[in-house]
Amino acid sequence: MASSSSLTGERAVVALFIARIVFSVPQSLLSESLSLSLLSLLALSVEISVDASSSVPLSHFFKTRPGASSGIFLGAVTLPGVMVSKLIQMSRAVSLNQSGSEELENLQLLYWGTSASCYTVLAYLCFIFYQQSDSKNCATSRCSLSCIALYFVVCCVSFAVKSHSGWYTAAILLWLFSHGYAAVKLIQNILHTFPACASIGEALLVTAGLVIYFGDMLACTAAKSHGYFTASKLVTVPYGIQRSEVSVIIQGLIIGLLLFPMLFKYMLQFLERVSLASSRDTTDSHMRRSCVFYISLACVLIIAVPSWMQLVQDFHVHPFLWVLDFVLSEPLKRLSLCIYWLVVIYVSVIRFYNISKSSKIERILLRKYYHLMAVSMFVPALILQPKFLDLAFGAALAVFLMLEIIRIWRIWPLGQLVHQFMNAFTDHRDTDLLVVSHFSLLLGCALPIWLSSGFNDRPLAPFAGILSLGIGDTMASVVGYKYGVLRWSKTGKKTIEGTAAGITSVLAACSILLPLLATTRYVQNWFSLLFAVTISGLLEAYTAQLDNAFIPLVFYSLLCL
């Protein structure tokens, strides 16, 4: 393999992203920095081996999204990089006595869970790939095995020096192993249940995020129920920190809806088995299935999910009544925002839906109008009502999940209507099996805001998704499509003019936002900001992955430093 073929634009940008984080890590986070470096080397070696192999192509194991590279390097390091950036930010808070050590300890355990999930998936890819390839003794194989062994040593040493109890270290390692095992099983199910819907890197990003989110829910539940368990410091200290009501409501809603399809599937199987006389009428069968769906969904959202919320948080009323009281606590501001959002959504959706059916405008440009719509909706709310925006993002994501479940299962009477409507806004990254573009746009704007809850000494960080997607990505696409001549590569469509326009527009937006957001004690390092904006812009130019998912997280990580 020639060395030139190993160096691509995407890999170079990701390497710069990781190097910026590693060189910013304080001495107290040395083990996390070392583990992130090992993870990067392992992910890079696996990606190079997978992409360069001609004897055993990646399609031999998984049916991934056509036209996309494997994306293993980017997918494996993005979430761990975000966690390390948050650790650096939290360590500043602890040094300034603006945050407790418990929150830092909680974040460290979340980081190790995230990195363990990515490491285990990479080790699994190494195993299945090298088992059937002709390159078992190549340098990349030895590098991968060395990284896996060194990571285990770093992990053991890191927790051993933090605790004098051997059983505590063993329990932590078992907890991390369970994250890794769950990640392997989950990515297998994702890639086999939704074939050709995602690359390996995209599936790895989703897998690591879901595993750490579910693991956090389980540990938080155990911490709040420690009277019924033999939980001790392992659970009660890292996961016993106080959480906001909004974060608990969002977590309960999202996890409940993600688990609901499995529950619905088992209920249908159970009903088919116990039914003594099944009707042959197709209409009657669809009606019966729809009734089961809506009844079970109502039970999950009204009974099961609120019960968990009240277990982990001291709600004095039903959580949904708490939401109503929260909205009405500032009725003028929050109800006005709701009305404003509904008007913008209604006008934009109707307008663009009609254009998509009758106009010859490129669909990629039509979709960028929704990015601009996100800017007009979210920027005022983030400045004026950030807590309410957190809740609104959670409600919107819950609605999207419900509609996608209804569309996939073709639940009467909305299933076919939702499917026809969504087809007007899909592109090459969406399939009939799974439509992900609207999820990636919503989460790309929401995740930096959710991650910034609590201590945040970087005022631009919550705006990472809105700036990178709503302004940078939109300007890059419009300028590149209309005026772009010089392309970054012979096979790609991204142009230098478009990238320059995206970077310039984000810098201009930052210069407008900073006087409105920055406190008197905060002075923006413009070189660091330029680096962050440039890296996110170059990633948009080079990556073949779902940029709405990766660019906001990369930009947010760099803004936290």
- Do residues 504 and 370 share a domain? yes
Domain boundary among 240, 275, 298: 240
176, 208, 240 — which closes off a domain? 240
- Are both 233 and 357 inside the same structural domain? no
What pTM value is reported for the model? 0.91
What is the enclosing helix (H) or strand (E) of 144? Answer: helix 139-162
Give residue 273's pLDDT.
73
Of 207, 223, 240, the domain-final residue: 240
Q: Measured in whole angstroms, how far is the alpha carbon of residue 252 from the centre of its chain? A: 17
Split at pLDDT 50, 70, 90, the class of 364 is low
Q: What's the pLDDT score for residue 235?
A: 43
Helix axes 200-224, 245-274, angle to 10 degrees: 100
Cα 117 to Cα 63, 112, 182, 209, 447, distances in angstroms: 21, 8, 8, 9, 19
In 3-state terms, what secondary structure has residue 338? helix
Domain that holds residue 461: 318-560
Per DSSP, 137 falls in state T
- 391-416: average pLDDT: 89
Q: DSSP string covering 49-93, please?
A: HHHH-SSS-GGGT----TT----HHHHHHHHHHHHHHHHHHHHHH
* pLDDT at residue 356, as a whole number: 63
How far from chain centre, in Å, is Cα 261?
A: 20
Is residue 403 in a domain?
yes
Q: In the predicted model, what is the mean pLDDT of the chain?
A: 83
Q: Is 267 inside a domain boundary?
A: no
248 contact partners, CB below 8 Å, separation of at least 6: 309, 312, 313, 319
Q: Is residue 270 part of a domain?
A: no
pLDDT of amino acid 415: 80
Residues 198 and 342 in one domain: no
Count of domains forming the chain: 2
pLDDT of 186 above 90: yes
346 and 216 in a single domain? The answer is no
User: Looking at the domain assignment, is residue 29 inside a domain?
Assistant: yes
pLDDT of res. 360: 58
Sign of CA dihedral 277, 282, 287, 292: positive
